Amino acid sequence: MALNNIENKKYKQAIKYLEQVREYPEKLGEGKPYDPDYNLQNYLLAYCAKQSGDKQKAKQYKQDILNFSSNTERFSSTRNATSNYIALLMLNKYDKKNQAMQLMERWKHYQDSLSNWHISDISP
């Protein structure tokens, strides 16, 4: 629904749907995850806020991405490549290229260590 609203330039309606992502109904079962990754939602929220003229809110969503992604352990262990890509976009946009490079090097090392353990190897 949110993406349809974004495509139709109904940014305020899209924001309502994107904000609902943060709600975890009691009937869900497990409840809210310990450390949820909202980078994709925050990226879309920042875009919608900017398009609807709320630059301050857009800046806050971008800051939320930077805050979430500044933890190297979290960045390295996430299996969500989209989240990492968004984090790198924000770091580069805010002229934090050194931090982006450090995160990428650590992530590369983490990925290399997985292949060393043959975790990602599917051999007969």
Per-domain residue ranges of the chain: 2-116
pLDDT in tens, 68-80: 877 777 776 656 7
Answer whether 77's CB lies under 8 Å from 83's CB.
no
Confidence of residue 124 (pLDDT cuts 50, 70, 90): very low
pLDDT at residue 89 is higher than 90: no
pTM for this entry: 0.74
Nearest CA to 2 out of 42, 29, 35, 53 is that of 42
> Long-range contacts of range 87-94, CB-CB < 8 Å, 24 or more positions apart?
87/39, 89/43, 90/43, 90/62, 90/65, 90/66, 91/66, 93/62, 94/62, 94/66
What CATH number has the domain spanning 2-116? 1.25.40
Q: Compute CA distances 123 → 47, 118, 120, whole Å.
A: 43, 9, 9
From CA 87, how far away is CA 46, in angstroms rounded?
13
